[in-house]
Each structure stands twice: as structure tokens, then as C-alpha cells.
């Protein structure tokens, strides 16, 4: 499992239009057509720069690359970008794209080898101090981090 952090420079003059476009169109197309899993979204400021950041989760880099290629070639998305650019001007400046690969000693990575109780998996529940079911192959770090 890998994660991807995307950071877009956005502009105050058309920030509301950017958010409407991402919410109503980009996210919809990404998720329903190309299997993007958007984990979280934020708006942040860095000095005088406004940024929109979002975190994606992928099973592997091959899947990520294929999904992005398909999304960027999507005719509906291309038309939406053309129309919104004509109406609101440039909506995204600099784009940063980072692949986040967990380090071996990160406790949450170790816990991923353990299984959550079935009811939590079905409900999508995330609980910080949940009792985990450990397998014999469970890393020692996982057992130590949950005791």
C-alpha cells in the first residue's frame, strides 16, 4: 500500500470555483471511473500562498500510474477544465506530487499486518487503541505498540 500527496497552489480570486470543480467533478470522476481512493483533503496557507492538499491511497505504483493516465485522458474532465478555465481563469498554479512510502518501523504499518475485528472492518471503523487479533507472523513491533 502506498500513498500519494498532491498539493495544488490555488488562488483566492477563484478559490470557491476551484473547490466546486474539484468536489463536483474531479473527485467524482476520479473515484467512480478510475478507482481513486481519496483519504483526506485540506486547505492550507504557506506565507501568501493558498494550497489545496489531498491524500490518495493506492495498492501499488502501477495502479496509481494507470489511474492517473486514464483520468488525465478523460474527455469529460478535459471539457470541464476547458469550460472552468474560460469562466474563472487559471485555477491551479504549481502542482506538487509526492509518493509516500511507509518506513518499516512506523507502528501503523506494523499494525497493518494484524487483522481488525470483523465488525470494525465491515463498518470501516478506525479506533486508535483497538484490540487487534495477532497472527504468528505479526511483527514484534505491532505487539509492542498495542500492549
Query: What mean pLDDT is reported for the chain?
Result: 82
Q: Please report which confidence band the pLDDT of residue 106 belongs to, taking 50, 70 and 90 as the band edges.
A: confident
Q: 85 and 141: one domain?
A: no
Q: 69 and 131: one domain?
A: no
Q: 59 and 130: one domain?
A: no
Interaxial angle between packed helices 27-34 and 61-72, expressed in degrees from 0 to 180 and rounded to the nearest 10? 120
Q: Please report which confidence band the pLDDT of residue 107 belongs to, taking 50, 70 and 90 as the band edges.
A: confident
Task: State the Cα–Cα distance between residues 116 and 108, nearest whole angstrom.
Answer: 12
User: Which range is least confidently modeled, 12-21, 62-71, 95-104, 133-142?
Assistant: 133-142
pLDDT higher than 80, residue 126: no
112, containing H or E segment: none
Q: 85 and 113: one domain?
A: no
In terms of DSSP bridges, do strands 2-10 and 92-100 run parallel, antiparallel, or are they unpaired? antiparallel
Q: How far is CA 123 from the centre of its chain?
A: 20
Task: State the Cα–Cα distance between residues 113 and 12, nearest whole angstrom.
Answer: 43
- pLDDT value at position 87? 98
Q: How far is CA 1 from the centre of its chain?
A: 12
Residues forming a β-bridge with 4: 56, 99
Q: Work out how many domains the chain is built from and give that number.
A: 2
Tell me what the mean pLDDT of segment 92-119 comes to: 73
Around Cβ 26, how many Cβ atoms within 10 Å? Answer: 19
Q: Which residues contact 112 (CB under 8 A, 6 or more apart)?
A: 1
Q: 42 and 78: one domain?
A: yes
The whole domain housing 128 covers: 107-145
Q: 70 and 49: one domain?
A: yes
DSSP code, position 53 = E
Amino acid at each position: 500500500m502506498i500513498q500519494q500527496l498532491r498539493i495544488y497552489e490555488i488562488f483566492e480570486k477563484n478559490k470557491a470555483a476551484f473547490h466546486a470543480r474539484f468536489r463536483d467533478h474531479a473527485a467524482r470522476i476520479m473515484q467512480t471511473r478510475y478507482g481513486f481512493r481519496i483519504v483526506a483533503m485540506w486547505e492550507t496557507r504557506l506565507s501568501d500562498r493558498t494550497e489545496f492538499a489531498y491524500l490518495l491511497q493506492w495498492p501499488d505504483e502501477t495502479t496509481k500510474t494507470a489511474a492517473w493516465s486514464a483520468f488525465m485522458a478523460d474527455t469529460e474532465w478535459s471539457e470541464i477544465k476547458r469550460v472552468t478555465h474560460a469562466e474563472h481563469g487559471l485555477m491551479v498554479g504549481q502542482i506538487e506530487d509526492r509518493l509516500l512510502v511507509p518506513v518499516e518501523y512506523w507502528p501503523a504499518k506494523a499494525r497493518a499486518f494484524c487483522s481488525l475485528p470483523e465488525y470494525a472492518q465491515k463498518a470501516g471503523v478506525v479506533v486508535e487503541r483497538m484490540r487487534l487479533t495477532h497472527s504468528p507472523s505479526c511483527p514484534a513491533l505491532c505487539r509492542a505498540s498495542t500492549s
